[in-house]
């Protein structure tokens, strides 16, 4: 397996990211060495909080939450998934799958022998993190999730499956604006709308990660947004990028480093034809018998995951009697918009259980 590594120089002088790196080397299925990066902040004897990020971000996403958690006596572990951040990046699109990420992060978890964990997972951090709980249940004491899910759709109508598959195979690549418009209107068939994101990522070799995160996370006027789109069209993104955009661009010196962020959306198991369907079924059987504390802290305005907390609240016994939180206007990345509120949810759960 060909594996790329982002030079350390690309992470120099990032705003608000003073954390020391820690590295663990695991083995891929073909015996290659794969180095995974994580942060380890706070007292060594503090309660362990495992903060899992999603796509297309990295542990930089947790820079605002870490001080709140550490000041409350928590020890924060925040890894970068393979393909993201300071972790190594397999070079082929085919190297990435849901199962590979679960297996890679499982090896990382065992190698570091983390125990007594509270999982905090958002976006892919929830999809992968929840599967880690299934596979390594003895290492986890409680779970907190935000804006994520455990997709399992074995009975999706055939016409929807055919529509999504035809769109992925034959439709022209959506523009950045077309993709954003589709995601903002997720009512109806979520699988069909989410296919815009999957297709955009898969077929855009040089995904403008920093620009997308800036547009998502930073408050700007419509005129400022229009100017950013214009700069992107003219190939001048680098001249207009904010410190935040620079940080989210940092892991990707060239398009070939972006295979992970391009591949992963297509592995969200939205269809009954997805290869991870059976593992998702087993995971739901596990969580339907999960009695450890399981808390939801979703945003009220995330178009991608709004309402997905209902299935956990209905099916997971560990959710009963807990103070589940709805984060007002939190958007998709609550770690950026509401770091103090999300941190306090985690702190309160650990202290009360």
Q: Which range, of 50-54, 189-193, 247-251, averages the lowest pLDDT?
A: 189-193
Q: How far is CA 91 from the centre of its chain?
A: 20
Q: Report how far apart, in Å, the C-alpha atoms of 193 and of each of 187, 197, 267 are.
A: 8, 8, 15
Supply the pLDDT for residue 62: 98
How far is 216 from 220, CA to CA, in rounded Å?
10
Instruction: Check if 332 is active-site.
Output: yes
Instruction: Output the CA torsion 46→48→54→59 (10° steps).
Output: 40
Catalytic residue among 80, 95, 274, 302: 302
Are residues 214 and 224 in contact, defined by beta-carbon separation less than 8 angstroms?
no
Catalytic residue among 123, 237, 274, 309: 123
Give mean pLDDT, residues 102-122: 98
Dmax over Cα atoms in the chain, in whole Å? Answer: 54
How far is 306 from 300, CA to CA, in rounded Å?
7
Give yes or no for residue 239 having a pLDDT over 70. Answer: no
Helix (H, G, I), strand (E, B) or coil at 145: strand
Tokens of 232: 């992107």
Which of the two residues, 211 and 50, has the higher pLDDT score? 50
| pLDDT per residue as tens digits for the range 98-108 | 999 999 999 99
| pLDDT per residue as tens digits for the range 268-284 | 998 999 999 999 999 99
Helices (H) and strands (E) in the chain, counts: 15, 10
Instruction: Check if 100 is active-site.
Output: no
| pLDDT per residue as tens digits for the range 186-210 | 555 567 788 899 999 999 999 999 9
Give mean pLDDT, residues 152-159: 90
Q: Which domains does the chain have, with CATH numbers?
A: 3-153+275-352 (3.40.50.1820), 158-267 (no CATH)
The pLDDT confidence band at residue 342, using thresholds 50, 70 and 90, is very high
| pLDDT per residue as tens digits for the range 295-332 | 999 999 998 898 999 999 999 999 999 999 999 999 99
Instruction: Check if 10 is active-site.
Output: no
């Amino acid at each position: 397996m060909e594996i790329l590594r982002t030079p350390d120089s690309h992470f120099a002088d990032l705003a608000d990211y003073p954390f020391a790196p820690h590295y663990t080397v695991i083995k891929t299925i073909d015996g290659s060495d794969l180095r995974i990066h994580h942060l380890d902040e706070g007292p060594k004897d503090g309660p362990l909080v495992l903060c899992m990020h999603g796509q297309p971000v990295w542990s930089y996403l947790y820079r605002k939450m870490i001080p709140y958690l550490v000041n409350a006596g928590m020890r924060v572990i925040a890894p970068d998934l393979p393909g993201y951040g300071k972790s190594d990046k397999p070079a082929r699109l085919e190297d990435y799958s849901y199962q590979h990420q679960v297996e890679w992060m499982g090896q990382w978890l065992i190698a570091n022998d983390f125990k007594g964990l509270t999982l905090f997972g958002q976006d892919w951090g929830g999809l992968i993190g929840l599967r880690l709980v299934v596979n390594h249940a003895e290492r986890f004491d409680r779970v907190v999730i935000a804006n994520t899910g455990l997709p399992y759709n074995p009975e999706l109508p055939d016409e929807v499956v055919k529509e999504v598959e035809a769109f992925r195979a034959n439709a022209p690549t959506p523009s950045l604006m077309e993709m954003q418009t589709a995601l903002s209107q997720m009512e109806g068939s979520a699988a069909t709308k989410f296919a815009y994101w999957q297709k955009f990522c898969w077929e855009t070799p040089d995904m403008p990660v920093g620009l997308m995160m800036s547009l998502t996370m930073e408050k700007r006027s419509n005129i400022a947004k229009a100017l950013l789109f214009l700069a992107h069209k003219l190939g001048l993104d680098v001249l207009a990028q904010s410190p935040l955009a620079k940080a989210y661009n940092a892991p990707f010196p060239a398009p070939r480093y972006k295979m992970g962020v391009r591949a992963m959306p297509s592995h969200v198991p939205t269809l009954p034809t997805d290869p991870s369907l059976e593992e998702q079924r087993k995971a739901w059987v596990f969580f339907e018998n999960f009695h450890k504390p399981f808390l939801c802290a979703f945003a009220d305005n995330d178009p991608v995951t709004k309402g997905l907390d209902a299935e956990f609240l209905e099916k997971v016994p560990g959710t009963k009697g807990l103070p589940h939180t709805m984060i007002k206007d939190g958007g998709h990345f609550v770690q950026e918009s509401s770091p103090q509120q999300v941190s306090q949810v985690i702190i309160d759960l650990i202290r009360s259980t």
